[in-house]
Amino acid sequence: MEYKKIQGQDEEVYEALIGEERREREGLELIPSENYVSLAVREALGSVFTNKYSEGYPGKRYYGGQDYTDVVEQLAIDRACKLFNCKYANVQPLSGAPANVATYFALLEPGDTVLGMDLSHGGHLTHGHPVTEITKVFNFVRYKMKDVETGEIDYDEMLEVAKREKPKLILAGFSAYSRELDYEKFVAIGREVGALVMADIAHIAGLIAGGAAKNPFDAGFDLMTTTTHKTLRGPRGGMILVRESEEIIAKINKAIFPGLQGGPHMNNIAAKAVAFGEALTPSYRKYAGQILKNAKAMEEVFKREGVRMIGGGTSNHLILADVFGSLGVGGAEAEKVLDEVGITVNKNVIADDPRKPMDPSGIRFGAPAITTRRFEKEDAARVAELMIETMRNKDDAKKKEEIREEITTLALEKPVPEVFG
């Protein structure tokens, strides 16, 4: 993508843009919450829709001149509902965290209880971590894995907690959990205690849309929240999906606007519509399936090399590896040395981590972005080998330079496609 106008007007921003393009082109992105978007999505993000204020919803706006904003927002809604087999969608949330917060305010009263996954066992900050402001309003209680080595959730304990704490909302979803959840058990527990059941599918939305992972709606979930980037491969944004309840979507819509947000970012919504259109194609289903194959190929290398993985491996797109326990390298240092060779991961706490969050025991990585670059299983396995080789030779400058050259070659051989399909 060219930046001729920026180059002529703002050299500093231009240099940063060119630098980021070079970094992405010559390196490999393995952070499982990141991906590459198509040029079509980028065009929508930079379109004239950025000029338009559109408070309200299609057909019910507070400003005039909404002929075409209504078209793109309705397209995004209709395509989202088709992708996830539901009746209603709100595509205005600015990202995943605002989508979760809006859902809490829509469906709960201050002081009500939410049951969600513990952060150190794979949950997200917005699922009730004490550092978040939302915990000052609602009461969050947590469930964990029963067995860290297999990733099995303790559903018996979850039921006991639900009976004791009487949550109004039970939340299935995660940020660093590598196995599939038993959605039927979540619904059964929710029905037994009279709670709504919600899934935060931010990480696996693309896998669900592409038919590579189970859809919580099929098990009877009431609603889902998600980001629109990550595996869904759209612009950075959020979305709330409601299976069938007109009452719930009415509350959600009111919480988003006018409750918590003003005018929606229409350029972003147009880009969501484009991305959802891409996700409805047969090639996208192939992409989603390949993510799982590539992640499994990386798991096999880490297992062969004796690196402990939380949950014992992966059933989705990501791996959480205990690199401190297995290789004697802290998560922060592992992130740094892998960055040096052109591999981007993120440091991450592991279950009941004895180390601090800014220098934890683990790293989190996954296959969505390299799969977009059309990496196959053999390519993904080689990347995993180079990751371990880098961490084992973290102080060997010559070895790291050799690995950097191989990574650059791999990256340049498989550029990000301009068109998906």
Q: Which residues are part of the catalytic machinery?
A: 53, 55, 200, 227, 230, 236
Q: Count CB-CB contacts under 10 A for residue 318.
A: 30
| Contact present, 8 and 345 (Cβ < 8 Å) | no
Q: Which of 316, 338, 311 is nearest to 327 (CA)?
A: 338
Cβ-based neighbours of 329, under 8 Å, separated by 6 or more:
323, 337, 391, 394
Taken as a whole, the chain contains a residue count of: 421
CB burial of 343-369 (b: ≥16 within 10 Å; e: otherwise) equals bbbbbbbbbebebeeeebbbbbbbbbb
In the numeric block, which tokens belong to residue 359?
A: 């220098």
DSSP states along 311-345: GGS-SSSEEEEEHHHHHS--HHHHHHHHHHTTEE-
Distance of CA 223 to the CA centre of its chain: 17
Separation CA 114–CA 128 (nearest Å): 8
SS3 32: coil
Alpha helices in 108-234 (DSSP H): 155-165, 183-193, 205-209
Separation CA 92–CA 105 (nearest Å): 16
| Contact present, 411 and 25 (Cβ < 8 Å) | yes
